[in-house]
Amino acid sequence: MEPIIVTQDLKKIYRLGKLDVPALRGADLVVQEGEFLAVVGPSGCGKSTLLHILGGLTSPTSGHVLVDGNDFMTMNDSDRTRFRRHKIGFVFQTFNLLPYLNAIENVELPMEGTKKSKDERRTRARELLKLVGLSEREDHRPHRLSAGEQQRVGIATALANNPAIVLADEPTGNLDSKTKYEIIRLLGKLNIDQGTTIVMVTHDSHMAAHAGRMLFLSDGKLLAKERQGIHLLKKELTCPHCGKEIQPDDTFCPRCGKEL
């Protein structure tokens, strides 16, 4: 495996008037191609800042970032936009769908301005909605979709230009517990089936445990300890006693009540 993301001594200080707010205090990170990495930490520890720097949306105050061998700092704005559009897909906690476009139009949007024709954009968007299990919802606007369905459309949108990397910022933060697992399962499936590198930041250690690897961010620094996760796809999600659906963290079957 080759590293696809490397950061060295990454620091970010926001300036609020005369106040300096340190968000990252020297983050060193190596993400291998094809990894599903979760970065876990409490609110305010610098997770979104880290993700935004990895996606070239924010510049670090100091330190280095290489994404697929490229340094955002040496790119001009249009190169950076082009690079981001083709290499990186973003998934957000708040889904970031346009309310006046339906599901398929939302997925087509990132392909505008690429070489794809209108028909090719439609075909690709259709394939992606199928991939996330929403073929039946192409014509639905976001307000007619459940939160979990909106996040599925958000993921399809992130994949529109077939990015090598998906950066997900609290992708399950606005979802109920059953839907959270569906979304983590979907991310795991993309990672395994398509080899997409995924970096997810979250405060939710239960969700993070289903990535391939967990790193802990504390006070702007990545801690040396790390844990292997277990892809949800590899877990049995039916009760061995009654065969009904269970959730990964259940210790008793909610249907038959037997210990799992």
Burial class (CB in 10 A: 0-12, 13-18, 19+), 90: buried
3-state secondary structure of 153: helix
Please, which residue, 21 or 30, has the CB nearer to ligand ADP? Answer: 21
Q: How far is CA 223 from CA 51, 54, 118, 226, in A?
A: 16, 18, 47, 8
> In the numeric block, which tokens belong to residue 160?
């529109």
Q: Decide: 258 and 250 in contact? Cβ < 8 Å.
A: no
User: Closest CB to ligand ADP among 29 and 132?
Assistant: 29
Q: How far is CA 49 from CA 142, 220, 233, in A?
A: 27, 9, 29
What is the residue-wise DSSP string for 212-236? SEEEEEETTEEEEEEEE---GGGS-
* Nearest to ligand ADP of 88, 131 (CB atom): 88
**Least distance to ligand ADP, CB of residue 118, Å:** 37
Q: In what order do the strands lie in the sheet with 36-40?
A: 88-92, 165-169, 197-202, 36-40, 213-218, 221-228
Nearer to ligand ADP, 111 or 175 (CB): 175
The rounded distance, in Å, linking the Cα atoms of 8 and 94 is 30
CB of 189 to ligand ADP, least distance (A): 26
Residue 15 CB, nearest distance to ligand ADP (Å)?
8
The tally of CA atoms less than 13 A away on the side-chain side of residue 194 is 18
Choose between 16 and 224: whose C-beta lies nearer to ligand ADP.
Answer: 16
Give the shortest CB-138-to-ligand ADP separation in angstroms: 33
CB 205 within 8 A of CB 40: yes
CB-nearer residue toward ligand ADP: 22 or 34? 22
Which two structure tokens, joined as six digits, stand for 172?
Answer: 């399950």
| CB 23, min distance to ligand ADP, A | 3
- Would the CA dihedral through 109, 166, 60, 6 be positive or negative? negative
**Closer CB to ligand ADP, 11 or 141, in the complex:** 11
At closest approach, how far in Å is the CB of 168 from ligand ADP? 12
In angstroms, give the least distance from the CB of 221 to ligand ADP.
12
Which residues form the interface with ligand ADP (CB under 6 A)? 14, 16, 21, 23, 41, 43-49
